[in-house]
Chain A
């Protein structure tokens, strides 16, 4: 029994490759179409992944800054830190005295900052607390909770900028997902057409297969495998291009030192996953395309 299945399996693969070879131009165009569709897909997935990467970096950067009213005693500040630490969303609190704030200001202006030295005796700056959050999405609730503390003066976080950027990224992700979906549908239709042509070209053979008692599965397997092979062949090109292209881009940006602005995800972190995903999508799209054609043309 095992031998029989093995023999039939070998035959199905042989027939699938033969079928592709017999209609090689058609198969070639299908492979190219799938390659283009999958290249677009993997490009978009890369963009989405990197947008996620940048978004999560940005979210990590969301911190709440609060100034402490002048004349607050050291004991009151200690109390304040202790109490705010108990707020649910606070991961870390950094306290800076007014003098440290002035130091930072002077440092940030470099040589020209020295003119602020004159404020050393009568420092107009206030001591600050910087809150790093566990979940930056709940920043607003934490800000509301902090307003209850009378020792705090001004509480702020880059909410508008952060929200705007997050919203843009969210839109990019949604749009990306939509385009990926549309491109996938196109790829399925293309493969489906190729398999349909293959079925049409072999309809006499299929008719004879039926007459001599071939089961539906037996008739369908070579076409399913044909779709699978086209899908996988079509995914190899974009996988190669993506690996080479992304690694080059990452290397270029690293050398340019622009990583602070656009922090791309490490190639080693995402390329294996994205390659496997592309091949899996190729295989899936290939099989799906075959199944569509077969449901339509091999009804009996």
Chain B
């Protein structure tokens, strides 16, 4: 599903964020990406949704080389994936339903298809009852679930989550994890960057640990690589 070969990323300010990393992620996997701040995990995530382009090497997602996708064409790729962020990125003036529908509207889907798909996605994240509420009427966890519904409404093969539980308390984080695991069970590959040591240790999944722009550990059986608990 994802194949990075000798990928380096150097920003314009000459900062080397990634240094010659190579990794394969199979279809249907759930992978954690962990590391200290500035270790390179955010850059890795950004390469996956083609917000950034690798300076060297190749980033292949489902056979498509993202280093060759131009800015004009990037929207076509984004339609095949879902992305979730720590700050939810919901539009405050739209209801939960409308926020999810938004992802389909921009593709020009008709009202009936939108209605069916949006309800299906909201059902999956358990928010069908609150679909008419605006983001400020929802809790943090609920807002993140709306964001997940928006990310999966197109049934993407890959879901990229950048610290999705970063703003949430442990109990709410657990419900978000349950939703993401459910999405994964239905066949979507999930790559999730996180700082949350408890989540990583509790639900054992493959874990990539980044440090100074390289992957210092690829634990297939999961678990936190660092001894310290503060990252």
Question: Does A296 count as interface, using CB distance less than 8 angstroms?
Answer: no
Q: Contacts A7-B108, A213-B106 given: A208-B72 contact, CB under 8 Å?
A: no
Minimal beta-carbon separation of B202 from chain A (angstroms): 29
Is the CB–CB distance between A205 and B91 below 8 Å?
A: yes
Q: Is A104 an interface residue (CB 8 A)?
A: no
Task: Flag whether A161 is at the interface (Cβ < 8 A).
Answer: no
Which residues on the B side are within 8 Å of A215 (C-beta)? 75
**A11 to chain B: which residues have CB within 8 Å?**
105
Question: Number of A residues whose C-beta is below 8 Å from B?
Answer: 20
Binding site secondary structure of chain B? loop
A210 within 8 A of B: yes
A91 at the interface (CB under 8 A from B): no
* Cβ-defined partner of A212 (8 Å) among B76, B103, B108: B103
Q: For A214, give its contact among B80, B90, B106 (CB under 8 Å).
A: B106
In the docked arrangement, what's the CA distance between A212 and B103, Å? 5
B14 at the interface (CB under 8 A from A): no
> Whole-angstrom distance from the CB of B44 to the nearest CB of chain A?
17
CB neighbours of A208 from chain B (8 A): 89-91, 102
Asked whether B110 lies within 8 Å of A212 as measured between CB atoms, the reply is no
User: Which residue of the partner chain, among A4, A207, A213, contacts B89 with CB atoms under 8 Å?
Assistant: A207
Is there a chain A Cβ closer than 8 Å to B71's Cβ? yes
Asked if B12 lies at the interface with its beta carbon under 8 angstroms from chain A, I say: no
Give the chain B neighbours of A300 by CB distance below 8 A. Answer: 71
Q: Residue on B with the closest CB to A214?
A: B106
Residue A115 CB within 8 A of the other chain: no
Contact A210–B91 (Cβ < 8 Å):
no
Question: Contact: A213 with B107, CB < 8 Å?
Answer: yes
Interface flag for A79 (CB, 8 Å):
no
B75 in complex: contacting residue of A3, A8, A205, A216, CB < 8 Å = A216
The answer to whether B106 touches A209, judged by C-beta atoms less than 8 angstroms apart, is yes
In whole angstroms, what is the CA distance A216 to B73 when docked? Answer: 9
Tell me the bound Cα distance from A3 to B113 in angstroms.
Answer: 14
The answer to the question of A204 belonging to the interface, with a C-beta cut-off of 8 Å to chain B, is yes
Cα of A11 to Cα of B71 in the assembled complex, Å: 24
State whether B110 touches A218 (Cβ < 8 A): no
Q: For residue B155, which residues in chain A have a CB less than 8 angstroms away from its CB?
A: none
- Say if the beta carbon of B49 comes within 8 Å of chain A: yes
A211 at the interface (CB under 8 A from B): yes
Are B89's CB and A204's CB within 8 A?
yes
Taking a contact as CB atoms under 8 Å apart, the answer to whether A210 and B78 are in contact is yes
Of B74, B83, B105, B106, most A-chain CB atoms within 10 Å: B106
| Distance between Cα atoms of A7 and B71 in the complex (Å) | 25
Q: How far is the CA of A212 from the CA of B106 in the complex (A)?
A: 8
Give, as a whole number of angstroms, the nearest-CB distance from B88 to chain A: 10
Are B102 and A211 within 8 A (Cβ)?
no
Contact A211 B79 (CB under 8 A): no
A271 vs B71: C-alpha distance when bound (angstroms): 46
Min distance, Cβ B61 to any Cβ of chain A, angstroms: 14
- List chain B residues, Cβ under 8 A from A205: 91
Assess the A213–B71 pair: CB atoms within 8 A.
no
Give every chain B residue within 8 A of A210 (Cβ-Cβ).
74-75, 78
**A-B CB contact pairs (8 Å), 23 listed:** A7-B110, A204-B91, A205-B91, A208-B90, A208-B91, A208-B102, A210-B74, A210-B75, A211-B83, A211-B89, A212-B79, A212-B102, A212-B150, A213-B76, A213-B79, A213-B103, A213-B106, A213-B154, A214-B75, A214-B106, A215-B75, A218-B106, A300-B71
Excluding A213-B75, A218-B75, 20 further A-B contacts by CB distance (< 8 Å) are: A4-B108, A8-B108, A11-B105, A205-B91, A208-B90, A208-B102, A209-B106, A210-B78, A211-B78, A211-B83, A212-B102, A212-B150, A213-B76, A213-B77, A213-B103, A213-B106, A213-B107, A214-B75, A214-B106, A214-B107
Which residues of B does A touch, CB under 8 Å?
49, 71-72, 74-80, 83, 89-91, 102-103, 105-108, 110, 150, 154
For the complex of A and B, 8 pairs with smallest distance between CB atoms: A213-B79, A214-B106, A213-B78, A212-B103, A4-B108, A215-B75, A213-B75, A8-B108
